[in-house]
Chains A and B, each alone.
Chain A
């Protein structure tokens, strides 16, 4: 066993960190305050190869796989979760659905521009009546000659207003349910029939564009169906597995930030003549956080390695999604406790991270749903019926 990063991934990690420290961290507070990521930063990240990092070089990607993608998400989210989610929605799920189950022709058509960051992608699954219960979606896809016509509403689509290319899931035959009744489509905004009805105002992740999209007779060519008609639910689940790993990596970034900031504050702050760092109560919080971050890092990177080996990681991805997002939340909560009232000030970085972390226990499948998956997979592993 070798738990060290190879030299190529060490250099990749350092290269990414150098970019993030210089280009993202200095404007993270501005992104939060203005609720907008500058287009110039999107362009720079495209030039640095971020938007195609894990994908095959055959389609214009960087060839760094899930492991490289997780390194990217950890480093980005250490500075700005909003930027992390923008990249994650593009790579992990929006572009990921096309990359995982798209045909070679579809990948050749769409992936190069997505990898360059010339176009952004979004993933449109969640609906008013179908949050984590993806099998219950109401958006319909009706065949009309050599096109499909999509009608319905999609909620909480990260990158939804900014994206040029959408991976959209719609019911082609509701009587068949999830297995056979849902299809996935590559939808260009330019096809028309798509309205950005609302931009969500969230408690955190300011800067990450979260949109409510209405599809009104949106006509999509037949050749833009991802995989076989009716196999969209499987595409969604496979895509979300990878997305959940990267979400875990993003949570490491937030937790790492929390740990670093609480250590620095504890070392610098003096109370009654003693540094906070000397107090046992503070040391316990730091120790608990260090343990959790270290164990989380092992979980995420070993699963990323498994993913790159082509192994199924549904159970690991669910464990990581639930555990990582809870560690992330606990860590920034402890960091605020260590900071005291200074951590409560609006605009303090730790306050921003606190707001940003909350959503992670809800989106891409609530942690309650992740626990159902973990329990069912565990039953199966031990020979019981789920």
Chain B
């Protein structure tokens, strides 16, 4: 089983205090006292990306029957299990690199830092991942791309569905548990709506699952992540993305004037829809 994981740094929200009056972000007293001389500790790994990483580690630790028999997720390959973590950054270093080190400490085997992608939006991120999938195809192909179902800001993430569309793979979002299928082919994905069988290759977006036994990085693995395992670096330009992918998505912001008065629509469904559409048109 070979899995690509997207990891994104997120602010350590629990360490920050927001002064709504002044708009200032403050580090709380215990952090100042506890860490001021020896670190900041204000960045961490995006929670749902961590869930994706933990799911990948779990899948890789319990290889499928097919993998044990010499096939890889039904692809017929004999490649060893591997988790490849990728992060996007405008330049090497800082938070993205820290996220990759944490990924290594938590079970990734290989890391790739994509540079030259300042403020990458969901479309560009999906484009980068799709290009990486193509690039890694020469190494035996991937069985899955896993990523968090929520952005570092806690909003539903669009990268997964966009990547699914771009690759034409099977895809599922808001997954809270992931296992290899007993048949050895494909994955079983648990969601709030039930468990689904997913053929591989697949794109799976995961949410943290408090019901699972928490996983912790091994202390020695944290040290080894920095001392033994180099981070590969790849410039955005080297991925030769199509122009449409790299174009920035323009978001048009509309500001509402006076909100329309609350009104309960009457009449048939057709009449109500017509009234509703008319109202929407006046807003745009």
A positions within 8 Å CB-CB of B: 3-16, 18-19, 22, 47-50, 52-53, 57, 61-64, 68, 72, 256, 259-260, 263, 290, 293-294, 297-298, 301
Contacts and interface: CB of A to CB of B under 8 A. Distances in A.
Interface stretch (B72-80, B124-132, B139-147, B212-220): B212-220
8 contacts: A4-B38, A7-B97, A8-B223, A11-B102, A48-B219, A49-B219, A294-B36, A301-B38
B147 to A, nearest CB: 21
Given A3-B38, A8-B101, A22-B214, A256 B222 contact: no
Given A3-B38, A297-B38, A12 B219 contact: yes
Interface stretch (B150-158, B224-232, B255-263): B224-232
B134 interface: no
B39 interface: yes
A8 B41 CA distance: 12
A47 B98 CA distance: 23
A7 B33 contact: no
A50 to B, nearest CB: 6
Contacts of B29: 260, 263
Contact of B220 (A4, A52, A301): A52
A294 B39 contact: no
Nearest to A69: B219
B224 to A, nearest CB: 7
B39 A4 contact: yes
A15 B39 CA distance: 14
A16 B101 CA distance: 15
A14 B44 contact: yes
B220 A11 contact: no
B221 A49 contact: yes
Interface in B62-105: 97-98, 101-102, 105
B247 interface: no
A298 B37 contact: yes
A6 B226 CA distance: 10
Contact of A260 (B30, B226, B227): B30
B34 interface: yes
A259 B38 contact: no
A224 B35 CA distance: 42
A72 B219 contact: yes
Contacts of B220: 49, 52-53, 57, 61-64
A6 B98 CA distance: 11
A11 B105 contact: yes
B interface, over-half SS = helix
Contacts of B226: 6-8, 11
A71 B173 CA distance: 38
Nearest to B15: A14
A49 B214 CA distance: 15
A4 B218 CA distance: 23
B219 A11 contact: no
Interface string B38-69: 11110010000000000000000000000000
B216 A68 contact: no
Contacts of B39: 4-5, 9-10, 13
Contacts of A57: 220, 224
A64 B35 CA distance: 19
B42 to A, nearest CB: 10
Nearest to B226: A8
Given A62-B222, A256-B30, 17 more contacts: A7-B101, A8-B222, A11-B105, A13-B41, A15-B219, A16-B219, A48-B217, A49-B219, A53-B220, A57-B224, A63-B223, A64-B219, A64-B220, A256-B34, A290-B33, A298-B37, A301-B37
Contacts of B225: 8, 11
Nearest to A259: B33
Contacts of B222: 8, 11-12, 15, 62, 64
A63 B217 contact: no
A3 B223 contact: no
Closest 8 CB pairs of A and B: A62-B220, A49-B219, A8-B226, A49-B218, A10-B39, A5-B39, A5-B38, A62-B219
A14 B41 contact: yes
A18 B105 CA distance: 14
B212 to A, nearest CB: 13
A333 to B, nearest CB: 18
Contact of A68 (B30, B44, B219): B219
B216 A15 contact: yes
Contact of B105 (A15, A47, A53, A68): A15
A282 B34 CA distance: 20
Nearest to B36: A294
A212 to B, nearest CB: 33
B11 to A, nearest CB: 13
A294 B35 CA distance: 10
Nearest to A12: B222
A343 to B, nearest CB: 19
Nearest to A297: B37
Contacts of B97: 7
Contacts of A260: 29-30, 33-34
Contacts of A68: 219, 223
Most A CB contacts (10 A, CB to CB) among B35, B102, B223 go to B223
A294 to B, nearest CB: 7
Contacts of A47: 216, 218
Contacts of A18: 216
A263 B39 CA distance: 21
Given A3-B38, A14-B44, A68-B219, A256 B224 contact: no
A49 B218 CA distance: 5
A50 B222 CA distance: 12
A376 to B, nearest CB: 30
Contacts of B44: 14
Contact of B217 (A15, A293, A301): A15
A3 B33 contact: no
A14 to B, nearest CB: 6
A15 B106 CA distance: 10
A246 to B, nearest CB: 15
